[in-house]
Amino acid sequence: MTLLQGTTRLAGDGVLGAIATVERMHLAIAGDIARLLPGGALLMRGTRFAYARVRDIAEVARRGSDGVLGLLAGHLPAATDARADASGLAWLAALNGAIGDHLEASANPLAIDMSLCRDGDALEARSTSLQRAIDGAGGTLALFVHGLGMSDLQWRDADGASFGERLERDGAACALQLRYNSGRRISANGRDLSLLLQALHESRAGTPRRLVLVGHSMGGLVCRSACEHAQRHGLAWADDLDSVICLGTPHLGAPLERLGGSLAELLAANPYTRAIAAVADARSAGVKDLRHGWASDLDRRGTHDATSPAQLPFGTRVRWRLVAATLSSRAHGLRAGWIGDGLVPVPSALARGDDAPRDVLPEGQRSVFTRMGHMDLLTSPLVYAQLRPWIAPRQRRSP
């Protein structure tokens, strides 16, 4: 019933949005003609009145269907939650990536809540079973954070195995995945992840622990945002943080989103296509943040250069590993620099801009995989072979 309620509510929002788009286009065109007619002003008032009544009818229908479904919810058998099914969760995650900020603002039940997951099941940060699993892995926790429009289950390869399962099988770490609404502001997800990690830290006070964050694409920006939040507010979970690994993360922005933003601006410049521009601009806040790789509210305000490696939170105390991929056979060159893995260019994934200040990352903390696409970074055995020694606890040298 939750799925039906959410879908019905979203359909109602879509109808209202379509009415508004048609109205703006109609008024833009009719306005030029009405100025030439004697009764043009009266005609325009009548047009606006007609559209207002159509909106009223659509709004009453939307609220009525929502209310009826709410009343029926307590009398009908509970339907299977879309989050419990891999294909359903994939659909829901894609929807959240596209319009997740709208789903949250409209209190739509289709909005995904942030949670720690293990094998697709959500866990409480303070659960004793989770504490036992971390202790059983020697106190090392690896948290995998997915990218835009994806879910915690999409770290699995065609055989159903994931990096996390391989780490646990090799005894290198306890692995969890983060599930979250990727259409929200990256900074909002980063703040909530920081608070979630703080709750996890407080539940295990006094126990030796070591945390490694692994983020794919947008997930790397969410990790960076969580670190910035912890640094600004002095949160204790940061004391557990050993490494942050970013796989194909657009630290300097994503070209496709810049293209989408430019298209919306071009449409907005013409009064006849301005209504279409509003539709194009309806993509989620999370998508828009990818345009320049904004991981913090400070980035959007332009108060600091977040594209510089020197600005990575906690400096050299935390090991930052930046991993890029390119469809090309060479790690450098035009294809790597412009196309990269198909979505993120190599310089953006490595946080190497032409105007970036002196590089502060030590040698060996950047890697480039050739002949590899953006999604391959989630499951490739070559990537796992690189991740495992980074995540596994380092052996102490004999005195």
* Contacts of the segment 351-357: beta carbons below 8 A, 24+ positions apart: 351/251, 351/252, 351/307, 351/308, 351/309, 351/312, 351/322, 352/252, 353/252, 353/307, 353/308, 356/307, 356/308, 356/309, 357/305, 357/308, 357/310
Distance CA 360, CA 370 (A): 24
Q: For domain 115-255+288-391, which CATH number applies: 3.40.50.740, 3.40.190.10, 3.40.50.300, 3.40.50.1820?
A: 3.40.50.1820
Look up residue 388 and give its two tokens. Answer: 């495992």
Per-residue pLDDT in tens (0 to 9) along the chain, 399 residues:
466 666 777 666 666 666 676 666 666 677 767 777 777 777 777 777 776 777 677 667 666 666 655 656 555 555 455 555 677 888 899 989 988 898 899 888 889 999 999 888 888 877 777 777 787 777 899 999 999 999 999 999 988 899 999 999 998 999 999 999 999 999 999 999 999 999 988 887 556 589 999 999 999 999 999 999 999 999 999 999 999 999 999 999 888 766 665 555 665 566 655 555 555 566 788 988 988 888 887 766 655 554 454 578 887 789 999 999 999 999 988 889 889 999 999 999 998 865 444 456 777 899 999 999 999 999 999 999 999 999 987 654 444
Sort 152 into a burial class: Cβ within 10 Å, 0-12 / 13-18 / 19+: buried
Say if residues 393 and 212 touch (Cβ distance below 8 Å).
no
Sort 295 into a burial class: Cβ within 10 Å, 0-12 / 13-18 / 19+: buried
Look up residue 182 and give its two tokens. Answer: 């990727």
Distance CA 329, CA 218 (A): 25
Phi, psi of 155 (to 5 degrees): -80, -10
Cα–Cα distances (Å) from 367 to 226, 326, 342, in that order, read 23, 11, 17
Positive/negative CA dihedral, 78, 80, 81, 82: negative
pTM of the entire predicted model: 0.81
Please report which residue ranges of 35-85 form alpha helices under DSSP H.
40-73
- Length of the chain equals 399
Say if residues 338 and 350 touch (Cβ distance below 8 Å).
no
Say if residues 250 and 349 touch (Cβ distance below 8 Å).
yes
**Per DSSP, what are the bridge partners of residue 244?**
213, 320
**Would you give the DSSP letter of residue 107?**
T
Q: What share of the chain is helix, strand, coil (3-state, %, to 5)?
A: 50, 10, 35
- All residues at 6 or more sequence positions from 88 whose CB lies less than 8 Å from its CB, including other chains: 80, 81, 82
